Amino acid sequence: MSDLPERDWKLLRELTPVLLDRLCGQFLQRATGIAATSSTTSHERYLKLYDLIKKQDREIALAFDDHRRSTAFMKILQIRKLGLFTADEFARFSEGTRKCVLDIESM
């Protein structure tokens, strides 16, 4: 979808700080759980955290780096794939954008 409506682009820009914070909060919860596990060695926990950070960094980059209108639809798809939109937030996008996202998800 190369012709994302202006209002959807503005909405994505508005939601980005909230969505990024939500993703980082989820990450920190997982990291805290890994760090608190006493059934593994410190080195094993460190390695799990390192792997989680690498994975999370890729997810953050795909969803939030290089925000431009030309990449906005792909960002919406990635953010949706990560489950970061609430139903109300996703419903604020235009019907056309929502339909395109849902059509791609159903493939």
Q: What's the token pair of residue 39? A: 């059934």
User: How far is the C-alpha of 52 from the C-alpha of 34, rounded, in Å?
Assistant: 10
Position 1 scores a pLDDT of 59
Write out pLDDT tens, residues 78-95: 999 999 999 999 999 999
| Cα end-to-end distance, the chain, whole Å | 15
State the residue range of the domain holding 98.
Answer: 6-105
Residue 99's nearest CA partner among 73, 64, 70 is 73
Amino acid at 97: T
- What DSSP assignment string belongs to 21-82? HHHHHHHHHHHHHHHH--SS-HHHHHHHHHHHHHHHHHHHHHHHSS--GGGHHHHHHHHHHT
Q: Does any domain span residue 1?
A: no
Q: Which of the four pLDDT bands, split at 50, 70 and 90, describes residue 2? A: low
Distance CA 41, CA 33 (A): 14
Counting the structural domains of the chain, the total is: 1
| pLDDT, tens only, 7-59 | 999 999 999 999 999 999 999 999 999 999 889 999 999 999 999 999 999 99
pTM for the structure as a whole: 0.88
